[in-house]
Amino acid sequence: MYERILRNRVVAIFRNLPLTDLIPAAEALCDAGVKSLEVTANSLDWTQGIRRLRTHFGSEIAVGAGTILDPETAAVAADAGAEFLLTPNTDERVLLYCAQNEIALVPGVMTPSDVGLCLRYGYGLMKLFPAGILPEEYIKQLKGPFGQSNYIAVGGVTKENARQFIDAGFVGLGMGSSLLRKELIAEKDWQGLKYETLALINDVNYLH
């Protein structure tokens, strides 16, 4: 599952995207090379959104649930069909629940203590949040004592700085409003979304 999440490096974050726009937006992203999507649990009709995406795309896209704050929400997300979960923080209750139920989890971390706790539960892929406020060398410092850890950058990632995060050592990027620009969504410009995303995918996946 983790290989699928990281395919082409970009995880698209759907937060409060209207259900009517969910499939066409996801199709545009998929056509551009995005192969993993996160529907946040604080969105309207989020479980219905996950079900629609899973039904429409099958195994073509990995569909996850984000903003998981407690084990109860984790259970609801898994029941809706989420293939992986993401948290904004390090909550040991969620770590324990997902480990016991063999649920793929990308836990949110910020500190060495967070990283150590996640590794203790067997989760080596983590979400560094908010990544945009941290110095560029922060991840390299973390990987010194925690060489088995890998990180997705979330928070402050834009099309303009995405490559910098990859060059700093991140294995993936979580992008929401900077990827799904409100102007494109409002105008239902799915071709525009596709081509902007294609440029991003090319930028973060090819050597400069």
Q: pLDDT tens digit string along 95-131?
A: 999 999 999 999 999 999 999 999 999 999 999 999 9
Catalytic-role residue among 35, 83, 127, 194:
127
The phi, psi pair for 98, rounded to 5°, reads: -70, -40
Catalytic site includes residue 127: yes
CA distances to 1, 90, 126 from 116, rounded to whole Å, are 22, 10, 11
Over residues 159-181, the pLDDT tens digits come to: 999 999 999 999 999 999 999 99
Q: Which fold has domain 2-201?
A: TIM Barrel (3.20.20)
Task: Find how far residue 20's CA is from the centre of its chain.
Answer: 21
Catalytic-role residue among 38, 83, 194, 196:
38
Catalytic site includes residue 188: no
pLDDT of 7 higher than 90: no
- Single out the residue of 205, 105, 203 nearest to residue 159, CA to CA: 203
Predicted confidence band at 4 (pLDDT cuts at 50, 70, 90)? Answer: confident
pLDDT of 8 higher than 70: yes
